[in-house]
Amino acid sequence: MNISLSINGTTHDLDVDPRTTLLDALRHHLDLTGSKKGCDHGQCGACTVMVNGRRINSCLALAVMHEGDDITTIEGLGSPEAMSPMQEAFVGHDGFQCGYCTPGQIVSATAMLSELKEGWPSHVSDDLVSAPKMSRDEIAERMSGNLCRCSAYPGIVAAIQDTAD
């Protein structure tokens, strides 16, 4: 089946089996291997990508469902030469150990902050929107879909808190 996906601002034409997940399309058809396969069952968050600004588990989505959507992967957020603020914060706070879950954590955290800002009433000033104050517990709750087997949670939460402030 021929489909066309918009990923990180580039359109890709693919020939995939209709049962191909978005995660497998990214990793196996497009060589975008930043999104990881941990559980393949929607439980770990290692495969998190953004679709139209919202985070999803790409292992649970069929690639064919996302024609016409704006898909962002970890590769689209930054590069080693030009990291995003969230990527820099993860490095600065040692928000990882083995690193396997890190792309999903960073994409999820980036989308989570974006979702929060969008959720503010329109009369709230940009200053407040850009500075959602969250407790460590709130961040942990909002990031509960992303597991870290190494338990690097203190650094992950600190990185997100730093980026949000």
| Sole binder of ligand FES in the list 24, 38, 106, 108 (CB under 6 A) | 38
- Does residue 42 bind ligand FES (CB under 6 A)? yes
Q: Which of 22/164 has CB closer to ligand FES? A: 22
Q: Are 49 and 71 in contact (CB under 8 A)?
A: yes
Query: Nearest distance from residue 59's CB to ligand FES, in Å?
Result: 3
Helix (H, G, I), strand (E, B) or coil at 27: helix
Nearest residue to ligand FES by CB is 59
How many residues interact with ligand FES (rule CB under 6 A)?
12
Question: DSSP of 57-117, one letter per residue?
Answer: EGGGSBGGGGTT-EEE-HHHH--SSS--HHHHHHHHTT--SS-SSHHHHHHHHHHHHHHHH
Determine the Cα–Cα distance for residues 100 and 123; give it in Å rounded to an integer: 40
Q: Is the dihedral of CA 121, 124, 130, 132 positive or negative?
A: negative
Least distance from ligand FES to the Cβ atom of residue 46, Å: 5
42/85 with CB nearer ligand FES: 42
Element spanning 7, H or E: strand 2-7
Q: Scan residues 49-88 and list those touching ligand FES (CB under 6 A).
A: 57, 59
CB of 22 to ligand FES, least distance (A): 10
Q: Is 44 in the site for ligand FES (CB under 6 A)?
A: yes
Around Cβ 6, how many Cβ atoms within 10 Å? Answer: 15
Q: Do residues 50 and 111 lie in contact, with contact meaning Cβ atoms separated by under 8 Å? A: yes
47 in contact with ligand FES (CB under 6 A) = yes
**Binding region for ligand FES (CB under 6 A) out of 43-51, 66-74, 105-113, 116-124:** 43-51
- The reply to whether 39 sits near ligand FES by the rule CB under 6 A is yes
Please give the residue ranges that form the binding site for ligand FES (CB under 6 A). 37-40, 42-47, 57, 59
